[in-house]
Amino acid sequence: SIVRDFITGWKDFQREGAPELYPQQLADEMEEINYYIFKAINNGVYRCGFAGSQEAYESAYEFMWEALDWVEERLGKQRYMVGEHITETDIRLFVTLIRFDPVYYSHFKCSRHKLAEMPNIRGYLQELFQIPGFGDTTDFTEIKQHYFMVHTEINPTKIVPVGPDMSWLMEAHDRDRFGGQPFADGTTLPGAVPAGEEVKNPEDFQLPLFER
């Protein structure tokens, strides 16, 4: 994957103090969990959204929610998916979880619960979103416009929902109750976020997409 390529194949171009996202001592566990996350969650939401029959949809839905329940339980026991710091596994999971409430919940009919209603996943997403490199690279307007306007076989009107309110991502969390920390000692965070790419104020997440 492109994530793995950047982690392992581009080390000569990484800044000094870049985080170790694929520690070799955790590689076997990460590979097992990465595969499950991809099959049941990353790809699972698409299997729900593009199912060609009720039976296929319900099968995919059950498989996906079984996996999300497993993630919720696991995150109730530890801060991150694998080990004591953020790894590639968390990045692979984040990209789907952050799109879940704005898109997959309604657009792909994954609507058992919003992730904001699942306390451990909620806190996990809050922590990641507030770390440089996560929230500041997430554009909810772009995410929603892409899915709701491009998938015309699912949403022929191309109407893009204004909600949901995602300001909860900027609220305080208590993930540090498990110990550990986002990155190992000696890791340096990215430099200043370029102007215009800062995490927006919470109230800005609910703005209409188009002028009235």
d(CA 143, CA 167): 16
pLDDT confidence bin for 135, thresholds 50/70/90: very high
pLDDT at 187: 81
In our burial notation (b when 16+ CB lie closer than 10 A, e otherwise), range 50-85 reads ebeeeeebeebbeebbebbeebbebbeebbbbbbbb
pLDDT at 85: 95
**CB contact at 8 A, 141 and 208:** no
pLDDT at 208 > cutoff 70: no
Going 151 to 156 to 160 to 161, the CA torsion angle's sign is negative
Q: Of 103, 206, 205, which Cα lies nearest the Cα of 146? A: 103
pLDDT confidence bin for 13, thresholds 50/70/90: low
d(CA 178, CA 75): 10
Please state the pTM of the whole predicted model: 0.88
Q: Which tens digits make up the pLDDT trace of 113-122?
A: 999 999 999 9
d(CA 5, CA 82): 20
Rounded alpha-carbon distances, angstroms, from residue 163 to 2, 12, 46, 91, 144:
31, 42, 21, 24, 10
Q: Which tens digits make up the pLDDT trace of 30-59?
A: 999 999 999 999 999 999 999 999 999 999
Rounded to an integer, the average pLDDT of 157-168 is 95
Q: Which tens digits make up the pLDDT trace of 169-202?
A: 999 999 999 999 999 888 877 777 667 766 555 4
Cα-to-chain-centroid distance, residue 153: 25
Q: Is the bond into 182 cis (omega within 30 degrees of 0)? A: no
CATH number of the structural domain 20-206: 1.20.1050.10
